[in-house]
Structure 1
Amino acid sequence: MVDVLGHLGMALLWLAPVWYFVEHRKTAALIVAGGFWFGMLPDVDLPLSNWVEGVHHHGIVHTVLVVTILAVVIGPLVGVAFKRIGERTDWFSARAAKRATVIGFLAVWIPGLSHLFADMLSAPDISTQIEPLWPVVTGPVVVLDVLWYQSWWATWGLFTLGVTVNVLAWYWSSDRRPTDSSTASTR
């Protein structure tokens, strides 16, 4: 299991395609900046284990099912927050505001899934293995175990890679593409 920065870096990597699919650069930046924090969502089981009997780290919260349920509950709230930011600023386009609920869901769900993937890469050596496809498949799916538990190089490497990919994607984002008005003037 990578440390917090590693999970956030993995979330940044998984969110990087936003720059390709969202035409408005500021909207993409808001989605990435607001969403990557949810790369820590499955670790909500750490504080929950102190309050709820039977909840343990890498247990039920580290499943696609629970991450999806949490995204269904939290995602629309994130979408509303994005939409309100767009109403007050130009950081969330009017086109994106029409799909704010779906965008909010994806901004929570994708980083949550990235957390499960990062744990699949590193959890088996010392920590409890995760069962990401429970209840459909019981037991670990594929144990890759390619990263050391709390590996410094993996944690900082993932975070640096995630930031770098998003900075490059920002630089080459769709705002550099010709707009309808600029292509009309060249005809």
Structure 2
Amino acid sequence: MVDVSGHLAMALLFAAPAWIIWKRRGALAFAGFALVTAMLPDVDLVLKTFLPIRHHGITHTILFVAVMSVLGGAIAAHMLTERFNANRLIHSETITEETVFVFATSGFLTGGLSHIFADLLSAPDVAQPLEPLWPLYDKPMAIDVIYYDSPLWNFGLLAVALAVHFVLFRHESYPLETRYRIGDRDDETAPAAADVD
């Protein structure tokens, strides 16, 4: 496992494709959400105080991350859709529950899977190797190319991830036309449209 900065960096790298799906505000929100969910698998550090589980056990599996992502996405869709449509910063009144579900579920998946991947790169240094494909494949797996406390890897990776997002933010983006778009108007053309009036 890398340290927290390494996990955040990996989450940002995994979230970079959001710039293809959403415009600036949506992509930034998605990256932020991935950062928040990047430590999801480490919930075992809290749970092991009252449950018979170990660190790098069940919570560090793709199955766990997928189930928690779908549950989190469903809860977010049910509780937040109306709030998003009422929020004037989102520039939309037509966000569907399906869109919120896809956004939230993808964010949970991105954060959780990035965490597992980062741990695969470094786990044997200070912790047990992971079994990310359990229950289909219950053998430990490790790539082991990063040392846990390496500032070069952790902060270097974070610097690269931030640079990638900065470049994508500054780049004239043309997101794919999907039914999961958020916002009725283009972030870049909204001020120009206001000037015409």
TM-score normalised over the length of structure 1? 0.84
Aligned residues: 177
- Counterpart in the other structure of 1:131: 131
- Counterpart in the other structure of 2:179: none
2:113 is the counterpart of 1:113: yes
- Counterpart in the other structure of 1:74: 72
* Partner Cα distance (2:140, 2:162) in 1: 30
Counterparts of 1:22-171 in structure 2, within 5 Å, are: 22=22, 24-52=23-51, 54-79=52-77, 80-81=79-80, 84-91=83-90, 93=92, 97=96, 98-141=98-141, 143-171=142-170
- Counterpart in the other structure of 1:7: 7
* Partner Cα distance (2:82, 2:158) in 1: 28
1:153: Cα distance to partner?
A: 1.8
Q: Say whether the 8 Å CA contact 1:82–1:92 is kept in structure 2.
A: no
Amino acid at match of 2:68: L
Identify the range of structure 1 (160-169 vs 12-21) with the bigger mean alpha-carbon deviation: 160-169
Q: Say whether the 8 Å CA contact 2:12–2:31 is kept in structure 1.
A: yes
1:83: Cα distance to partner?
A: 6.0
1:76: Cα distance to partner?
A: 2.7
* Partner Cα distance (1:102, 1:77) in 2: 12
* Partner Cα distance (1:154, 1:82) in 2: 38
Query: Relative to structure 1, is the Cα distance of residues 156 and 44 closer, same or farther in structure 2, using a 3 angstrom cutoff?
Result: same
Identify the range of structure 1 (81-90 vs 165-174) with the bigger mean alpha-carbon deviation: 81-90
- Counterpart in the other structure of 2:178: none
Query: Relative to structure 1, is the Cα distance of residues 153 and 59 closer, same or farther in structure 2, using a 3 angstrom cutoff?
Result: same
1:95: Cα distance to partner?
A: 6.3
* Partner Cα distance (1:121, 1:155) in 2: 12
* Partner Cα distance (1:92, 1:65) in 2: 35
**Structure 1: gaps (5+ residues):** 183-187
1:40: Cα distance to partner?
A: 0.6
- Counterpart in the other structure of 1:185: none
- Counterpart in the other structure of 2:17: 17
1:103: Cα distance to partner?
A: 1.2
TM-score normalised over the length of structure 2? 0.80
* Partner Cα distance (1:160, 1:82) in 2: 34
* Partner Cα distance (1:13, 1:83) in 2: 30
**Structure 2: gaps (5+ residues):** 175-185
* Partner Cα distance (1:95, 1:35) in 2: 24
1:94: Cα distance to partner?
A: 5.2
